A and B are shown apart, each in its own frame.
Chain A
Amino acid sequence: MNLLTTPPGTKDVLPTEAAELRLIEDAVRTVFAEFGYGEVWTPTLEFEEVLALSGEKAFQTGFRMLDDDGRVLILRPDLTAPIARLVGSRLRGGVPPHRVFSISTIFRRLSSHRDRETEYRQAGIELLGSSLPHADAEVVAVACRALERAGLRGYRVGVGQISFFAGLLGALDLDQGLRQRLTQDVVAKDLVNYRLAVEGAFVLTPDDRRALLDVPDLRGGPDVLDRAAAFVRNADMESALEHLRSMHEALVAYGYEDRLLFDLGIFRNLEYYTGSVFELYAPGLGFTLGGGGRYDNLLARFGAPMPAVGFGLGLDRLHSALIDQVADLATGDQTVILVGGLDRHVAVADHLREACVGVFALAHDADAASAATQARQKEIDLIVAPVTGSEGRLWMVTDVSSGVGHQVSTEELTAWVTRDETTA
């Protein structure tokens, strides 16, 4: 049976999970549309050399193959690079800002550093052509609203600002080696080595060392913004902080201030992000749900220089966070098993379908036991079977979980089945 397995890091999705994932996806899609984001689809396969322009790290773990002309193709390893390519080609003549979203499957190889999924669905938005902090705030607000619409409770958004730390490094006039080491350490989350490097840097004044140790450790509520002010040493740091303040004000207006954790210790891929960064957290989930930030240099690499901000959300992770909170993600769709719906009573089946009831049709000679087996396997709650001798005028509607049955006429059937849905 080993022949029938799928590659490591991939999975099959069966109807119940698919319905739940679809529900989440629909909620997210609706929110994106409410904010005026337009859906785009990009190819699953792209030319490697084109996406390589992005310099995104995820790119290194992409699946590659050759086409007939020997050109290297890559399976889409992230959502942003294809959209940057699309903006540089298809939207080049347009007037910014552009608001686009995509919900797609992305692919990354397993490695010793990544041993989980190779294929997963992401939902992402990009707001292109605005450098206003209010654009960053909108993107965070869209993320919050999408999580809420999907039904997630207790989530938080960590908001950081890479250019504040970069400004500090700039102000200290460090040599290239130390600068690189400090940056590497914070990105690797190795705060022990970082502290060692800072404490060993005797060219720095005690005040400088204090600042290097304290800034990445600033986290909490909006008070972080006030505490950070004490470390401002140049115009870069001032404007970085001002950007965060404006974001905060805007997010208060959206009603999301309680969701925010300001954190100057969030360092996402620094090759990519240039300003604000954020991460989405769910209680009880050890991984981030997603994240994003401002990447003002990326679009220039695709010939369309403009500021940009966006985020990506892992739909499978959101799904597992939701499952932790709600035992059953009710899809709201009623489906019944209709004995005879396949052959003798097609009209009755279609009548139910018109009333938005899903019908899993069985042949008229299906016995009660096989109908019950099907109900169990397909997780269907109601079995509808014609009453013997009634010639299809009377129906027995049985609730599978309770075993209770009700006899109704054909005319009453739709009303009964849909009524049952609302009281269930």
Chain B
Amino acid sequence: MKTLRIALCRGAIFNETVSLLEGVGLDLSEVRGNTRKLIFETDDGTRFITTRPTDVPTYVEYGAADVGLVGKDVLLEAGKNVYEVLDLGIGRCRLVFATPEGHDRSLDTLRHLGTFRVATKYPRITRDYFQARGINPDIITLHGSIELAPLVGLADGIVDLTSTGTTMRENRLQERFQLYDFTTRMIVNRVSHKMLAPQVGELVARLRELILCRDADAGTDVPGANR
């Protein structure tokens, strides 16, 4: 039987996703140990591809990987035609709108402006979010240190991920509202979802079971755990 090719993100959620896959009996010792290699093959033929998070949806859409584990932020920004089959419940982070401390630039006060400048790594999510609310912001796409933009007058505010809020506080930025709450998702190529249905189905079932057990242990209230 054909085995799966799984794309993983080298990044913040790497260790968590690796642990999760180990939890369902996959052997990722080499993936964990070797940070330079890009492709790994286990004894049963399962192949792991490691790449940067933003590239994972592309690998999966083109069928270079059957399955990918990637953050919903990346997925929503990429807008690829893939199956999104499972919420892994890890890598939780929030996408928020923040402006410099003091000035209350809430959505209501910004609404009267024709436009305002928002710096972000997520131009598409940001545009869609504001446009759905009748606002057409001027999006400034940056690739790192988004917090800098409002401090030097490049933008009025930022849309960025935060987990603890420390970076924002240190840069005297204040969260005004939350756009989304993201977690890591399992995605599947449209053709693999059909041609490799048994393999994909089994991986989903095992992961779902593991997640239910984990959440039950942690006593957290998670959607899906109430059945």
Give the interface residue-count category, chain B.
20 to 34
B2 to chain A, nearest CB (A): 9
> Once bound together, how far apart are the Cα atoms of A73 and B143, in whole Å?
41
Is A78 interfacial (CB-CB < 8 Å)?
Answer: no
CA distance A275 to B77 in the complex (A): 33
**Chain A residue with minimal CB distance to B188?**
A189
Quick one: given A199-B227, A286-B63, A286-B189, are A219 and B194 in contact (CB under 8 Å)? yes
Question: Residue B190 contacts which of A156, A219, A261, A288 (CB distance < 8 angstroms)?
Answer: A288
Q: Which of B34-42, B82-90, B132-140 makes up part of the contact surface?
A: B82-90
Q: Check A195–B224 contact: CB distance below 8 A.
A: yes
B67 to chain A, nearest CB (A): 12
Q: Is the interface of A mostly helix, strand, loop or mixed?
A: mixed
Q: Which residue of A lies closest to B123 (CB)?
A: A112
| Chain B residues with CB below 8 A from A316, complex form | none
Look across to chain A and name the residue whose beta carbon is closest to the beta carbon of B87: A192
A191 x B85 contact (CB < 8 A):
yes
| A228 → B minimal CB distance (Å) | 15
Q: Give the docked Cα–Cα distance between A189 and B75 (Å).
A: 13
- What separation, in Å, do the CA atoms of A302 and B37 have in the docked complex? 58
CA distance A57 to B2 in the complex (A): 35
CB distance from B177 to the nearest CB of A (A): 21
Q: How many A-B residue pairs have CB under 8 A?
A: 67
Q: How far is the CB of B49 from chain A (nearest CB, A)?
A: 13
A158 (CB) vs chain B CBs: closest residue: B194
Name which residue of chain B comes closest to A220, CB basis.
B197
B154 interface residue, CB < 8 Å from A?
no
Residues of A within 8 A of B190 (CB): 189, 286-288
Indicate if the CB atoms of A263 and B194 lie closer than 8 Å. Answer: yes
Contact across chains for A112 and B79 when beta carbons are under 8 A apart: yes
Residues of B within 8 A of A235 (CB): none
B130 on interface, CB distance cutoff 8 Å: no
Kindly state whether residue B191 has any CB partner on chain A within 8 Å: yes
- Contacts A112-B79, A196-B223 known; A285 to B63 CB distance under 8 Å? yes
Say if the beta carbon of B54 comes within 8 Å of chain A. no
B227 lies within 8 A of A189 (CB) = no
Given A113-B79, A195-B224, CB of A287 within 8 Å of CB of B63: yes
A261: chain B residues within 8 A (beta carbon): 194-195, 197
Distance in Å: Cβ of A342 to nearest Cβ of chain B: 46
Most chain A C-beta atoms within 10 Å of own C-beta, residue among B79, B194, B223, B227: B194
Residues of chain A with a CB closer than 8 A to B197's CB: 219-220, 261, 263
Residues of chain A contacted by B185 (CB below 8 angstroms): 192
Please list the 3 inter-chain residue pairs (A to B) with the smallest Cβ-Cβ separation, ordered nearest first.
Answer: A286-B63, A189-B83, A286-B62
Q: What is the interface of chain B, defined by CB distance below 8 A to chain A?
A: 61-64, 79, 81-87, 124, 185, 189-192, 194-195, 197-198, 223-224, 226-227
Beyond A282-B191, A287-B62, A287-B190, 14 additional pairs, beta carbon < 8 A: A113-B79, A113-B81, A156-B194, A156-B195, A191-B83, A199-B224, A206-B227, A209-B227, A219-B197, A220-B198, A285-B191, A286-B63, A286-B64, A286-B189
A residues whose Cβ falls under 8 Å from a Cβ of B: 112-113, 156, 158, 189-193, 195-196, 199-200, 206, 209, 219-220, 261, 263, 266, 279, 281-288
